[in-house]
Chain A
Amino acid sequence: GSVHHELIRPNHYRPRNVIRCCSTARGRNKDYYQVLGVTVHSTHQEIKEAYRKLQKQHHPDIAGYKGHDYTLLLNEAYKVLTRNLSRHDDGKSRAGLGSGYPRDGYSSWNGPLAVES
């Protein structure tokens, strides 16, 4: 038992790290629009372009290991914002989509982003 504790100790900083990662996955009201630099009015196409542009700056293949966490955030934001949008919505404004709107953390009201607070 004690041997194992010796082995584990150097990673003592990990738990906090992991707990933080739990809370992000739980959908803490993060401003995913801000992460991708888009607005609630942006089309699927615009979200996609913004995502790819940011990936080209921050992906670990290009930015090195420091890009890891940021790329995780980009991937999460992109997934949530495009979850309920099919490819056929390209070019259409979000306002008219009604039920296709992703409801994660945001109401379908096209007002300011701080609507929930």
Chain B
Amino acid sequence: MGLVFVRCEAVVQRRGLPGRRAVSADLFRRGGRFILQPRLNSSVLGGDSWLSIVVKRGKTSRWCSDADIAIRSTTSKGKRMAEQFYTVASDSETTGEDKSQLSFPDVAIGIDIGTSKCSVAIWNGHQVELLKNTRNQKGMRSYVMFKDDTLSAGVTGGAAQESAHEERDILSGSAIFNMKRLIGRMDTDEVVQASKTLPFLVQTLGIGVRPFIAALVNNMWRSTTPEEVLAIFLLELKALVEMHLKHPVRNAVLTIPVAFSRFQQTRIERAFAMAGLHVLRLMPEPTAVALLYAQQQQQLMHDNMGSGIEKIALIFNMGAGYSDAAVAATAGGVSQIRALSGCTVGGEDILQNIMRHVLPNFDSLYDGHTVDRIKSMGLLRIATQDAIHKLANQESVDINIDLGNGQKVSKVLDHSEFEQVNRAIFEKCEKIIIQCLVDAKLEPEDINDVILVGGCSKIPRIRSLVLGLCKKEVSYKNIDALEAAVSGAAMEGAIASGVTDPSGSLDLLTIQATPMNLGIRADGNNFAAIIPRNTTVPARRDMLFTTTHDNQTEALIAVYEGEGEQAEDNHLLGYFKIAGIPPAPKGSVEISVCMDIDASNVLRVFAGVVKPQGPAIPPFIEVRMPTLDDGHGWCGQALAKMYGKTIDLAVLPKKLQP
């Protein structure tokens, strides 16, 4: 038959399943194709969608892409099924059509999409390397410019066209930015409401659907979505990386804010899929910084400069859109996340506060979004931004700007005024740090290092606030405030892609924790948390529930995520019904709801009747969450209107449990 075959070990990874598996297999070559024939129990290979395959033989290992290899399925007894083999294909969402070579090293890249700036880093075989665009920038402005029929994103900054974009162009209404704040949010969200002051159009109806977003093209509003904008941006970013690496890129590790809901995570994954990228891991930003810190501590130990004992770091990250805090304990290259907390305040809120402060009728300025007003807003925004930057290094700053339309702003802003205007923001930052310390059960004295990252970490008040809470004089010095998160992501990308480094600099592990409570609606409108926040991942917890009516045959499992005590204060992730409950007096049936989060952060919910038992009991239900796509605002209300309390659940009190 002309088949060549070698015995090899294949390490495969499958979409939807975390981690990698090693299987012993034979590699055939037929024509131009390779066929992977697993040797033993191949249930592991009987799948439909594959991410990556490494074929190891002797000391050499090669990364293969789906395009090169077909997997021949075997039955569980090891017999070959006649000529039936599964072609390895990407998940339908990851549409990367690569004509890749068998030998290209498919190591996941690290991406940090900031509200304001974005950066990308790769593992170059020895260390992490941040890539620069043609304008020699490592931090590239996050926006997409809509002009006539051409689209261009902040990666090239319009350098490919005749003229490079200036800040004034970005604020002309033709560019969409702040995607990270808008993605996956409903029009009832206060962050979306606050975004209505941006130069491009954000329209809301306030009923819990997606906001309408549009850019000004030839004096017309052209509608788009945050996912689309992000995907266009990512395409440019991907091209930049591929130009540098000279081979296609498929996988990425992305840093996200702690406050990102699971629904927002799915939207961001969707945007990546639209750009042909697969998100291998989503890393909360401070945990990526913690990984970099863990590596540095490990390095110190190797150089015999560190003692090798456990070090505890508090990481505070404040960017343009989000603030995060984390406590990580590090020893022997293992970074264990003890607590995480985050909120949606950032530099954008500071900017808006100052704009409102210097121009009292600011809110009437953006009404209508006429070209003149957009221009005035842009001028004010640039001047205010500039003033805030200057204020980091000087006592006071003058803001003098002519907005046109006869409006002028002339103001002197000093530190105390700046701090007064933004008091609510600093209080929120304080709150998440204190919550983090309490959740980690630590006193300020237990913290070895305070790491400050993100653009806003340069603000003097933020620095003094964080250091004060941790009772420290100075912050940790060896970490770059703007490059740390993306470097950590690139490192995780290399680790999760199975790269090992002979010098041991990738001998690291992050033990993640869940940032938010996960639970279901029970006892009326209450939220029963099944996996509490800061539970170590992988996590699996269950809880028993019971019926609230006699002879109740159906029960609604509505899954929520968040910190609120009422279910409605939290994010609805999805819902399903358990039907066929045997008729019994209320409170006597036991329904188990189990939640499982794996290492790649996939949430599965299992639910079913556990008492009474017997053949008449319907099978358990397994649901991968979130299932909701849209309409978070009215889904819960519609359910309540339709069913009232007829299919409610109650938490089974501990004393009644076996």
Across the interface, do A56 and B509 meet the contact criterion of CB distance under 8 Å? yes
- Map CB proximity to A onto B10-40 as digits: 1 under 8 Å, 0 otherwise: 0101000111111000000000000000000
A14 at interface (Cβ–Cβ under 8 A)? Answer: yes
Q: Known: A18-B608, A59-B511. Is A68-B538 also a contact (CB below 8 A)?
A: yes
Which residue in B18, B331, B658 is a CB contact (below 8 Å) of A60? B18
A3 at interface (Cβ–Cβ under 8 A)? Answer: no
**Shortest Cβ distance from B330 into A: residue:** A52
B634 at interface (Cβ–Cβ under 8 A)? Answer: no
Across the interface, do A11 and B620 meet the contact criterion of CB distance under 8 Å? yes
Across the interface, do B620 and A67 meet the contact criterion of CB distance under 8 Å? no
B619 CB contacts on chain A under 8 angstroms: 8-9, 11-12, 14-15
Across the interface, do B658 and A26 meet the contact criterion of CB distance under 8 Å? yes
Across the interface, do A21 and B334 meet the contact criterion of CB distance under 8 Å? no
Of the listed stretches A34-42, A71-79, A106-114, name the one at the interface; the rest are far from the partner chain: A71-79
Which residue in B22, B441, B657, B658 is a CB contact (below 8 Å) of A64? B22
Interface centre among B332, B600, B622 (most CB of A within 10 A): B622
Task: Determine the distance from Cα of A16 to Cα of B305 in the docked complex, in whole angstroms.
Answer: 52
**Shortest Cβ distance from B598 into A: residue:** A68
B442 at interface (Cβ–Cβ under 8 A)? Answer: yes
Q: A23-60: which have CB < 8 Å to B?
A: 25-26, 45, 48-49, 52-53, 55-56, 59-60
A1 CB contacts on chain B under 8 angstroms: 579
Q: B586-631: which have CB < 8 Å to A?
A: 592, 594, 596, 598-600, 606, 608, 610, 618-622
A9 CB contacts on chain B under 8 angstroms: 619
Q: B471-529: which have CB < 8 Å to A?
A: 495-496, 509-511
Q: Known: A60-B599, A71-B538. Is A11-B622 also a contact (CB below 8 A)?
A: yes
For the A-B complex, the count of residue pairs with Cβ-Cβ distances under 8 Å equals 109
**Shortest Cβ distance from B658 into A: residue:** A26
A22 at interface (Cβ–Cβ under 8 A)? Answer: yes
- Map CB proximity to A onto B625-658 as digits: 1 under 8 Å, 0 otherwise: 0000000000000000000000000000000011
Across the interface, do A79 and B334 meet the contact criterion of CB distance under 8 Å? no
Tell me, rounded to whole Å, the shortest Cβ–Cβ distance linking B624 to chain A.
11
Of the listed stretches B87-95, B193-201, B318-326, B539-547, name the one at the interface; the rest are far from the partner chain: B539-547
Which residue in A11, A19, A49, A72 is a CB contact (below 8 Å) of B539? A72
B608 CB contacts on chain A under 8 angstroms: 15, 18
Across the interface, do B21 and A25 meet the contact criterion of CB distance under 8 Å? no
Across the interface, do A52 and B332 meet the contact criterion of CB distance under 8 Å? yes
Task: Determine the distance from Cα of A67 to Cα of B18 in the docked complex, in whole angstroms.
Answer: 10
Task: Determine the distance from Cα of A63 to Cα of B22 in the docked complex, in whole angstroms.
Answer: 9
Q: B234-251: which have CB < 8 Å to A?
A: none
Q: Known: A61-B496, A68-B598, A87-B442. Is A19-B592 also a contact (CB below 8 A)?
A: yes
**Shortest Cβ distance from A16 into B: residue:** B620
**Shortest Cβ distance from B14 into A: residue:** A65
Task: Determine the distance from Cα of A94 to Cα of B113 in the docked complex, in whole angstroms.
Answer: 47
Tell me, rounded to whole Å, the shortest Cβ–Cβ distance linking B381 to chain A.
42
A60 CB contacts on chain B under 8 angstroms: 18-19, 538, 598-600
A52 CB contacts on chain B under 8 angstroms: 331-332, 334, 336
Task: Determine the distance from Cα of A60 to Cα of B598 in the docked complex, in whole angstroms.
Answer: 8
A49 CB contacts on chain B under 8 angstroms: 331-332
B550 CB contacts on chain A under 8 angstroms: none
Tell me, rounded to whole Å, the shortest Cβ–Cβ distance linking B623 to chain A.
10
B310 at interface (Cβ–Cβ under 8 A)? Answer: yes
Task: Determine the distance from Cα of A49 to Cα of B329 in the docked complex, in whole angstroms.
Answer: 12
Task: Determine the distance from Cα of A45 to Cα of B329 in the docked complex, in whole angstroms.
Answer: 12
Tell me, rounded to whole Å, the shortest Cβ–Cβ distance linking A4 to chain B.
8
B536 at interface (Cβ–Cβ under 8 A)? Answer: yes
Across the interface, do B620 and A14 meet the contact criterion of CB distance under 8 Å? yes
Q: Known: A14-B622, A59-B511. Is A64-B542 also a contact (CB below 8 A)?
A: no
**Shortest Cβ distance from A78 into B: residue:** B536
Across the interface, do B658 and A56 meet the contact criterion of CB distance under 8 Å? no
Across the interface, do A18 and B592 meet the contact criterion of CB distance under 8 Å? yes
Task: Determine the distance from Cα of A45 to Cα of B598 in the docked complex, in whole angstroms.
Answer: 27
Tell me, rounded to whole Å, the shortest Cβ–Cβ distance linking A91 to chain B.
11
Across the interface, do B511 and A65 meet the contact criterion of CB distance under 8 Å? no
Task: Determine the distance from Cα of A46 to Cα of B511 in the docked complex, in whole angstroms.
Answer: 18
Across the interface, do A59 and B17 meet the contact criterion of CB distance under 8 Å? no
B98 at interface (Cβ–Cβ under 8 A)? Answer: no
Tell me, rounded to whole Å, the shortest Cβ–Cβ distance linking B317 to chain A.
22
Q: B534-562: which have CB < 8 Å to A?
A: 536, 538-542, 544
Across the interface, do A75 and B620 meet the contact criterion of CB distance under 8 Å? no
B446 at interface (Cβ–Cβ under 8 A)? Answer: yes
Task: Determine the distance from Cα of A61 to Cα of B496 in the docked complex, in whole angstroms.
Answer: 6
Task: Determine the distance from Cα of A52 to Cα of B332 in the docked complex, in whole angstroms.
Answer: 8
Task: Determine the distance from Cα of A61 to Cα of B253 in the docked complex, in whole angstroms.
Answer: 13
A19 CB contacts on chain B under 8 angstroms: 592, 610
Interface centre among B331, B509, B599 (most CB of A within 10 A): B599
Tell me, rounded to whole Å, the shortest Cβ–Cβ distance linking B339 to chain A.
13
Across the interface, do B594 and A22 meet the contact criterion of CB distance under 8 Å? yes
A15 CB contacts on chain B under 8 angstroms: 608, 619-620
Task: Determine the distance from Cα of A66 to Cα of B599 in the docked complex, in whole angstroms.
Answer: 11
Across the interface, do A67 and B539 meet the contact criterion of CB distance under 8 Å? no
A25 CB contacts on chain B under 8 angstroms: 540-542
Task: Determine the distance from Cα of A37 to Cα of B430 in the docked complex, in whole angstroms.
Answer: 40
Interface centre among A25, A45, A61, A75 (most CB of B within 10 A): A61
Across the interface, do B19 and A61 meet the contact criterion of CB distance under 8 Å? yes
Across the interface, do B536 and A79 meet the contact criterion of CB distance under 8 Å? yes
B20 CB contacts on chain A under 8 angstroms: 64-65
Task: Determine the distance from Cα of A25 to Cα of B539 in the docked complex, in whole angstroms.
Answer: 11
Residues of B within 8 A of A (CB): 11, 13, 17-22, 310, 331-334, 336, 441-442, 446, 495-496, 509-511, 536, 538-542, 544, 579, 592, 594, 596, 598-600, 606, 608, 610, 618-622, 657-658
Residues of A within 8 A of B (CB): 1, 8-9, 11-12, 14-15, 17-19, 21-22, 25-26, 45, 48-49, 52-53, 55-56, 59-68, 71-72, 75, 78-79, 86-87
Q: List 8 A-B contacts (CB under 8 A).
A: A8-B618, A17-B606, A22-B592, A49-B332, A53-B332, A56-B332, A64-B20, A65-B598
Given contacts A8-B618, A75-B538, 5 further A-B contacts (CB under 8 A): A11-B621, A22-B594, A67-B19, A71-B538, A72-B538
